[in-house]
Structure 1
């Protein structure tokens, strides 16, 4: 028989689920099974569970046909449990290393008690970690001691959670424990288990890291009438006690916990709708009167008067006391607001005045790459918006030094000008692939669309805190910028999970595909032919696009290759297109290579997508270009000559050398040798690319821009369905274009 069954209910946690499961499967104690219950999650959580179950036989994925809620999902896992002990773990939390070994050892030392309680720590998005404040209750002179609850009744004061305990499965069945539906489902289970257990052991060790989300993540923090479910939960708990006369002695303690719980819900902001607070109070007062044990005395302390108000049913008095507290808090907030306002020297008086003007519902401001021009996802959305909603005025924010790159006929304003600040103040729609300036204020009614500009291989957002050598980012200011987002675009489930974790804010993820990539699906042979001719490329030339990424530890573009030598080695039929990262101004080191005539510096080309169309293959290192270029299903070669340094300094989300989109080489010599053979486009390279495309090109079917415009600008609630992966087209390769021209006689 398996020692432990871990039941993991899963719903909308694709950003954290892998971390949760990895923390379990990586334990040094291995005699366990995981029953992960997909509660009809609408995101990619169910698919992720299936992938884990396929890789590790200890994982069983259960998919519920409809969403039933946390408690009933746990029951579904419990029904399938085979372990001696059952443990619960929420799917956004993690086990600490060695915790299952510690639990197993303590159970062995205490002769398998009914319940073992272990500790937890809250972990915060900003890196803080705080242990349970009642951890002292888990300490014993002899840790092998087995208690009854009567020996330490203060254990009832621990947080009402199920996931800090291991339960003997035969005890669970004997006690008749099951989770009820609704909010606060932990209360009847937790109290029922503790008062029923014949033996309780304690483990003074943090075994669970309890994730505290910056926004969302906790259904109990949702304003809703569902908080009234708490009355049903205590009804169930006292019915449980009534059916077991031997437990009657616990009624006074449970009554106190009930009263405390009701008062907590009343006092916590963001739970009850304002128009439901009085109703909730009177329900609580009725329960207080009906269940109050004879001779009950409220506990001493500051909450004593609240018990008295419940006993009298005096909501007005309780609300009055709350108003006094709120008044003091309001004074503090106004003082903080004044301090913030005084620090806004960068925000012009003109902009502040324009913030009082009405919003223009038909004005959209676009920007890309910190005002460098008209490009990327925002440019593709702009074009589609012109087609589907031509009544919306589209204005681009461009820095003065880049104004010359704006195509003719595109309306633009220079960053920092009065026209710029006026447009930002009055536009209903703000679209960017990075962030607007910190001084930009998010007005009620404005819609900020964050498009991003690549699939992340390197660490991003809050994850960059782990790699201080690669960033000087102010993370508080970063999150303040993210708080302005209403929508965040994604081109694959992998990206969605990263964005939601590293940019924790209250936006909606739109899994649409990247609009800029529509052209890679929809381009025709004529488009490919036109781009190559505009670049001066021969139809019969093999064109290799070399696109290295930015390295924070390099202040200028340093080519990873001796381009003149590579071009010479590959021969006259090969042309190299070289595009430095936009963070670099250029490099004189390319001059010698350009002189050969077979190396073209395309760093200044306005549309990288056209370079993709022109190239027969991509040579890159760790650039996100590989994720987009993979859509074309053309060869990709990874030059990983400094992978160990890059991955250590910048941090990456997976080992690219182990999961590449094609052949991997570690040096220039190896690259030249590879390109002189069939290895860069053989069957092995093709198979790697196919797996890569399946994983990272899931949403890019050529209709991404239309999805975005219909959802964000036209208000359509349902996204357009995706073209099935097997039915998707792609732009023809240069070789296919040449073959077509030869067959048809077209020039």
Structure 2
């Protein structure tokens, strides 16, 4: 243990939770913050809970087992843990729940930043028995607000909305001296959290919040207390008696009576409405007692809630059980009738739109209309966006329209018409537009007409298996209908490719009669045209502190994982990198609702005294993130192929390469031919940054070979070549020739990269593709070596590549180079 008095006492009561208890205990003991004691209380459980606790105590001295002589219930088991606790702060965790990785570190850091408040409230996610995790729907109540504001620490009077959170004990940390001084303890019976949580929040002089999921609240399929039919649910009345007796004993808290009364009424309504909680013979008694409590505790002049809540409250007050259930039955009937009406309306609308589409297909193709979309209607992005912008520049006579939903409407530039997916205008455009451009496939219901031109841009260079290669990869295919996939492929007239490797893969896994356009990746054009001032403005808009090295962390999706799980502890990495670095975290778009840093999209997470983490998952233009970043950290994301065009450092973190390749399949071994050094563990990754390997000579050599192989056409004119060939009908031989790699001048990184000395970094390898570090002592490597970004990419010498990876010769030889606008560094 780190000191005589541990920072945290984590109290885990256990009763009939043997299938889950090991996971619960491990989630605490495997935290990266180790200054804790784990008080595991066996509440005389008839199963193996006691033995599991003893086994854990034998393996880890931080575990303090407590065995009660008889079953006391959840509240009294927690009290037994409180009596034995010695930590600065108390945390409670039920035996079937778990702590999220990194939670104790985040809690400790937040406590330090907010001056040791008496109570810290953090967030949780409900985890269904199927494995699906859903964050607390009221997570917005836990936002920190302005870091400089005094409201970072507050009394409940200043933020009364916190009473809308779930009133449980395990989503808070409590200063132990505060609990002991006030004499707080859990009562017996069900709903024991109610007379604990309300008094604690009302009494605390200093409260802070942490906007992070720290507890995974397991929703058991069977056996949970709230799913058990029992008369013990009537305990709720005695628990609220305790709450109001506490108010009566403290006249200074009397103004909270209306709020607590409303919470009580709402709580009664939840229990009355929950199927299966109350035995049939206890329901009439429940309503009688609910009515008595309503009359007893209703404050004078209490506001009447609006709508049906008013009638439910009145019926509870009267104890009118039959009328209450009749009202609920009428509500259910109304909802079902509305659902049936909506279903009928949706069916009629689909039929009308189908007929509308058929009629529009009979009209002539509109030669002046081009329709664009990207990422299943997720806004103005990727190659289609770059092509659309170039169409407006080079072919101003064409009208362009973009398919997207209202939530992404703000991403559209002025003058671009928005088409709502599934609307009549949408089907009209699909039926009549001359040009159709997408980086995924259009809806299966579309039928391409003679005279229409379909350009498939794709959205990255393939490292993982795609198309027909997924037929023997069920985890990745997820029930894909390959016949329908090929029907959509048959609609393509052109398929865009960024390099020969991509061309060979696409033509094999998407076999059809389209024409491949080996013109480069249009979204990467901006790398050659952006200015240093534009990069500076981008960084300021993202909130990157001036002078810090910005590292973009962009992991990809794992097909073998049922739900999203972060691969890196980004807070630990940020601490290790130090105050000179900012970590930009961009989760894969499949996981837009779940972030790797447990802060809302676009929010910053400061790691006290060390570094900064910015969640940029909601930023729609990934090429802008690349421009803003001084280095890229990724695993197997195709973003590495795009970022290589900037000729800035790339680090590959391949901690699960074997599992990823087995589940998804890969076209070559990225750890054998990487664009930069490779780490296999978090410690190796930190060591790469500690000794400068991430931006050293070996890193530059790997990147040069990678660029020569995968970036032959990305010279800043890819979109122009596409528009001239597809939209203007120019011959291939007359298109702008490709500028050689040696003559390209991508916009330089904003910060001259310098390796900071990282304190207390353990020695360790950098991975199979790491640099040779034997030439100088490790201490010298930490002395502050400067890794200057190269002024220009040197002409790449031929590099041997693995036999599994095709050489990167052009599909067709480009025309001789013409002078190209360049910008000196």
Normalised TM-score (structure 1): 0.52
Aligned equivalent of 2:499, options 482, 485, 492:
492
Which residue of the partner structure matches residue 613 of structure 1?
627
Of stretches 614-623 and 392-401 in structure 1, the one that deviates more from structure 2 is: 392-401
User: In structure 2, the residue corresponding to 1:445 is in which secondary structure?
Assistant: coil
Aligned equivalent of 2:664, options 650, 655, 659:
650
Matched ranges for 1:556-575 at <5 A: 556-575=563-582
Which residue of the partner structure matches residue 630 of structure 1?
644
Q: Deviations over 1:506-526 (max 9, x none)?
A: 000001101100001221111
Which residue of the partner structure matches residue 455 of structure 1?
461
Q: 1:623 to 1:730 in 2, by over 3 A?
A: same
Q: 1:398 to 1:412 in 2, by over 3 A?
A: same
Q: 1:737 to 1:636 in 2, by over 3 A?
A: closer
Q: Please state if 1:729 is matched with 2:756.
A: no
Which residue of the partner structure matches residue 362 of structure 1?
368
User: In structure 1, the residue corresponding to 2:720 is in which secondary structure?
Assistant: helix
Aligned equivalent of 2:378, options 359, 364, 372:
372
Alpha carbons 2:384, 2:437 under 8 Å: kept: yes
Aligned equivalent of 1:351, options 357, 365, 376:
357
User: In structure 2, the residue corresponding to 1:661 is in which secondary structure?
Assistant: coil
Aligned equivalent of 1:667, options 681, 687, 690:
681
Inter-partner Cα distance in structure 2 for 1:655 and 1:345: 49
CA offset at residue 587 of structure 1? 2.1
Q: 1:668 to 1:346 in 2, by over 3 A?
A: farther
Alpha carbons 2:494, 2:514 under 8 Å: kept: yes
Aligned equivalent of 2:717, options 703, 711, 714:
703
Alpha carbons 1:557, 1:586 under 8 Å: kept: no
Alpha carbons 1:378, 1:431 under 8 Å: kept: yes
User: In structure 1, the residue corresponding to 2:471 is in which secondary structure?
Assistant: helix
Q: Deviations over 1:417-449 (max 9, x none)?
A: 001000111100000001000111110000000
Inter-partner Cα distance in structure 1 for 2:379 and 2:595: 24
Paired positions, count: 397
Which residue of the partner structure matches residue 516 of structure 2?
509
User: In structure 1, the residue corresponding to 2:589 is in which secondary structure?
Assistant: coil
CA offset at residue 560 of structure 1? 1.0
Q: Deviations over 1:90-140 (max 9, x none)?
A: xxxxxxxxxxxxxxxxxxxxxxxxxxxxxxxxxxxxxxxxxxxxxxxxxxx
CA offset at residue 468 of structure 1? 1.7
Aligned equivalent of 1:537, options 531, 544, 550:
544
Q: 1:380 to 1:552 in 2, by over 3 A?
A: same
Inter-partner Cα distance in structure 2 for 1:737 and 1:635: 9
Which residue of the partner structure matches residue 285 of structure 1?
none
Alpha carbons 1:512, 1:699 under 8 Å: kept: yes
Which residue of the partner structure matches residue 396 of structure 2?
390
Alpha carbons 1:528, 1:732 under 8 Å: kept: no
Q: 1:346 to 1:473 in 2, by over 3 A?
A: farther
Alpha carbons 1:459, 1:653 under 8 Å: kept: yes
Inter-partner Cα distance in structure 1 for 2:386 and 2:474: 34
CA offset at residue 401 of structure 1? 4.3
Q: Please state if 1:528 is matched with 2:535.
A: yes
Inter-partner Cα distance in structure 2 for 1:704 and 1:659: 26
Q: Deviations over 1:258-286 (max 9, x none)?
A: xxxxxxxxxxxxxxxxxxxxxxxxxxxxx
Which residue of the partner structure matches residue 584 of structure 1?
591
User: In structure 1, the residue corresponding to 2:450 is in which secondary structure?
Assistant: coil
Inter-partner Cα distance in structure 2 for 1:643 and 1:552: 13
Of stretches 394-403 and 363-372 in structure 1, the one that deviates more from structure 2 is: 394-403
Of stretches 467-476 and 504-513 in structure 1, the one that deviates more from structure 2 is: 467-476
User: In structure 1, the residue corresponding to 2:401 is in which secondary structure?
Assistant: strand
User: In structure 2, the residue corresponding to 1:594 is in which secondary structure?
Assistant: strand
Q: 1:429 to 1:643 in 2, by over 3 A?
A: same
Which residue of the partner structure matches residue 594 of structure 1?
605
User: In structure 2, the residue corresponding to 1:583 is in which secondary structure?
Assistant: helix
Q: 1:650 to 1:393 in 2, by over 3 A?
A: same
CA offset at residue 643 of structure 1? 0.3
Matched ranges for 1:229-240 at <5 A: none
User: In structure 1, the residue corresponding to 2:572 is in which secondary structure?
Assistant: helix
Alpha carbons 2:587, 2:595 under 8 Å: kept: no
Structure 2, unmatched stretches of 5+, are 1-349, 755-787, 790-825
Q: Deviations over 1:373-426 (max 9, x none)?
A: 000000000111111011100000113443344345431110000010001111
Inter-partner Cα distance in structure 2 for 1:574 and 1:438: 46
Q: Please state if 1:677 is matched with 2:691.
A: yes
User: In structure 1, the residue corresponding to 2:632 is in which secondary structure?
Assistant: strand
Normalised TM-score (structure 2): 0.47
Q: CA RMSD in A?
A: 2.0
Of stretches 523-532 and 494-503 in structure 1, the one that deviates more from structure 2 is: 523-532
Q: Deviations over 1:454-473 (max 9, x none)?
A: 00000010111121221121
Inter-partner Cα distance in structure 2 for 1:466 and 1:667: 30
Inter-partner Cα distance in structure 2 for 1:727 and 1:589: 38
CA offset at residue 586 of structure 1? 2.6
Matched ranges for 1:124-135 at <5 A: none
Which residue of the partner structure matches residue 728 of structure 2?
714
Aligned equivalent of 1:381, options 364, 387, 396:
387
Which residue of the partner structure matches residue 466 of structure 1?
472
User: In structure 2, the residue corresponding to 1:637 is in which secondary structure?
Assistant: strand
Inter-partner Cα distance in structure 1 for 2:452 and 2:731: 18
CA offset at residue 595 of structure 1? 4.4
